[in-house]
Amino acid sequence: MRAWTLGVLVLATLIGVAAWHTLYWGAELEPADFAYPGAPSQVSCAKAAPATADLPRVRVRAPRNYRADHAHGLLVVFSPAGFAPALTERFTGLTRRATAQGVIVAYVGSSPLSAELASRLVQVPQAVARNWCIDASRIAFTGHSDGGTLAQVVALQAATPGALQPRAIVASGAGLLESDFGTLDCPVSRELDVLILHGRNDRHFPDYGASATRAWARCLGCAPDPVTDAFDCQHHAGCRGHLTFCQHDGRHWNWPDLFRQTTVDAAGPSGAPLGHGDGTGGGV
């Protein structure tokens, strides 16, 4: 009994140490002030119909000095399996960085994956836009694992009339294969930036990122033969939008921290194409 108890304590300690190094704490979870311009935004707030679907819990984080007369970018973060919104916030560490750039973050709680769930989650941006001033041209979807899967599937369903559509997707460690795209709304007729991130040591979804990227290349009408840069990111040319696939050295449960800034930029004011990591470090 004593040995068993000691074993449990050791295991709990190891889990705690792993969580401490994997999750964000302290200031990274606090909304920051945004340096608003003096005059109200020239961009109108998105006009959104009321959400009619039964949505999972959504945790919205806005700049600490939020102004309702300024249209903000919206970053929708879909959760890994079993993650509540607050845990996803700790896992991704996006709140402070995003709100400092005038981007509102909506963390969507986990639910079992299904086509029916994806069709409901299309309404998350309009649900947020009913209460916050959102720039409809600056919406991005992101997520890790099941969340990365949903970021892609929901985006492909967002062509539904009345839905607020994302301009960009950043999907990490997703469980989506090339063969899964046969049931999705592809090709995509609008411009869409897609960044696929995947760990070389991911044993849960091995090589899924490369497989999904091949499907996205067809969806977006990209030219063959992508160019690989010094960061081991493959950039596809000739797309409706931009398509990039980046590998990192992590395992499945490593959120690629070097791409945190890139993820925020997806909903930022610049509209720059999604590219390689920013080299800020930390977190994983």
pLDDT confidence tier of residue 186, bands split at 50, 70 and 90? confident
pTM of the model: 0.89
pLDDT at position 276: 45
pLDDT at position 274: 61
In a domain, 152, yes or no: yes
Give the count of domains, the chain: 1
Q: By percentage, how much of the chain surpasses pLDDT 90?
A: 66
Calculate the CA dihedral of residues 90, 231, 32, 39 and round it to 10 degrees. Answer: -140
Tokens 């980046």 correspond to: 246
Cβ atoms of 276 and 246 closer than 8 Å: yes
In a domain, 18, yes or no: no
pLDDT confidence tier of residue 255, bands split at 50, 70 and 90? confident
Of residues 117 and 8, the one with the higher pLDDT is 117
In a domain, 40, yes or no: no
pLDDT at position 52: 80
pLDDT at position 270: 66
Helices and strands (H and E) in the chain: how many: 8, 9
Mean pLDDT of the chain: 86
In a domain, 9, yes or no: no
Does residue 207 carry a pLDDT above 70? yes
Of residues 92 and 190, the one with the higher pLDDT is 92
CA proximity to 259, closest of 227, 235, 282, 228: 282
**Each residue's pLDDT tens digit, 120-152:** 999 999 999 999 999 999 999 999 999 999 999
In a domain, 1, yes or no: no
CATH number at residue 212: 3.40.50.1820
**Each residue's pLDDT tens digit, 79-113:** 999 999 999 999 999 999 999 999 999 999 999 99
pLDDT confidence tier of residue 240, bands split at 50, 70 and 90? very high
Range of the domain at 105: 50-265
Phi and psi at residue 215, in whole multiples of 5°? Answer: -70, -40
Cis preceding-peptide flag for 187 (omega within 30 of 0): yes
Q: State how far the Cα of 202 lies from the Cα of 163, in Å rounded to an integer.
A: 34
DSSP state of 199: E
In a domain, 142, yes or no: yes
Mean pLDDT in residue range 163-180: 94
pLDDT at position 220: 94
Q: By percentage, how much of the chain surpasses pLDDT 70?
A: 86
In a domain, 4, yes or no: no
User: Within 10 Å of residue 160's Cβ, how many Cβ atoms?
Assistant: 11
In a domain, 248, yes or no: yes
Does residue 21 carry a pLDDT above 90? no
